[in-house]
Amino acid sequence: MSWWGWDRLVEAMVFFPQAEHWARPERFGLTCQEEWIPTADGQRLHAWWLPAPGSDTVLLFCHGNAGNISHRLPNLKLLHDLGLSVLIFDYRGYGLSSGRIDEQGFFRDAAAAYQAAAAHARQQRARLVVFGRSLGGVAAVRVAAEQPVAGVILESTFTNLADMARHHFPLLSRLGPLAGRLEALAWVDRIRAPILFLHGDRDQVVPLELGRRLYQAATAPKQWVTITGAGHNDTIEVGGEQYLSHLRRFIASLPPPPGMEGP
C-alpha cells in the first residue's frame, strides 16, 4: 500500500464527519453569530460564536471526531450558562466547512480557530481557555503548546493514535507506521497554562489509562478528575452538578484577563 493510501485508510478510521446539522443554537435559547474562519491553506471553517454578555472568559471548543458542531448544542448550552463566551468550529469537511478532513488539516483548522477565538478575547478583554474533548483534546494540546492561553480543559483525551490503535485495532497497529500520528503525549509538556483533565472511569473508547498517561506527562499546574460511572459520551450527564462545579472552580482559579488584575 502506498503512503498516501495508508494515510487515507488511517484517517478514514479516525474522522467521521457529518454534513447535516441536527439543530440550531436558537432551539436552546442561545444567541449565535455565524462565522467563517479562513485557514492557512485556503479552506473556510464554519463556526458559531456564542457571546455571554459581561463574560471574562472566551472558551475555544475543539469537538471530537464524529458529527459536527450542532451535535454539541446541549454541551454548549451548559457552558454558556456558566457565563462563558464560546467559539465552536467545524473542522474541514465537517458540517458546512469546506474541504476534506485529514490529519494536517485537522491541526491547521485548530490553529485558525485559535486566532479567531483570540481576536474575540482581545475585543472582549477576556482570558482565553481552550477546551478539547476526545480527539479534539489532541488539537487543544497542540494549540496550547504553541500559543498563549489562560487555561486548558481536556476531557476524555488520549495520548496518540498509536496507543489507541494498540487498544482497539491491534492488527492495524502492525500493518503500518503510526508513530507521531495525532500526537498529544509529546506536546503536553510544552503547555505552560494550568490544565484540567476530566475522564470517565468506564470509558470504553478512550481507556482511562491513556488519559492518566497524558496527565502524568504534563508539567504545568494540573488537576485530574475521575468521573465515576461515566463512559465516553455521558461525562456531563453522569457528572451532573459535580462536573460543572469542577469547571467553575478551575476557570475561577485562572489569572484574571489582561487589564483586569487587582491592585
What's the pLDDT tens digit per position in 83-94? 999 999 999 999
Per-residue pLDDT tens over the stretch 59-88? 999 999 999 999 999 999 999 999 999 999
pLDDT(182) > 90 = yes
C-alpha span between 96 and 54 (Å, rounded):
30
- Placement of cell 476526545 in the chain: 134
Q: 142 is written with which cell numbers?
A: 497542540
- What percent of the chain lies above the pLDDT cut of 70? 93
Q: What pLDDT is attached to residue 176? A: 55
C-alpha span between 67 and 84 (Å, rounded):
23
| Contact by Cβ (8 Å): 89, 37 | yes
CATH classification of 3-253, choosing from 3.90.1300.10, 3.40.640.10, 3.40.50.1820, 3.30.70.3270? 3.40.50.1820
Q: For residue 158, which of 130, 190, 187 has the smallest C-alpha distance?
A: 187
Positions annotated as catalytic residues are: 134, 203, 232
Start-to-end Cα distance in the chain: 63
Among 6-10, 220-224, 244-248, 252-256, which is the least confidently predicted range?
A: 6-10
pTM: 0.94
Q: Which amino acid is at 111?
A: A
Kindly state the greatest CA–CA separation across the chain: 63
C-alpha span between 27 and 48 (Å, rounded):
14
Q: How confident is the model at residue 263 (pLDDT cuts 50, 70, 90)?
A: very low
Q: Name every residue whose Cβ is closer than 8 Å to that of residue 241 and which is 6 or more positions away in sequence.
A: none
- Averaged over 111-131, what is the pLDDT? 97
All structural domains of the chain with their residue ranges: 3-253
C-alpha span between 67 and 15 (Å, rounded):
9
C-alpha span between 165 and 171 (Å, rounded):
8
Q: Alpha carbon 62 to chain centroid distance?
A: 3
- Placement of cell 491592585 in the chain: 263
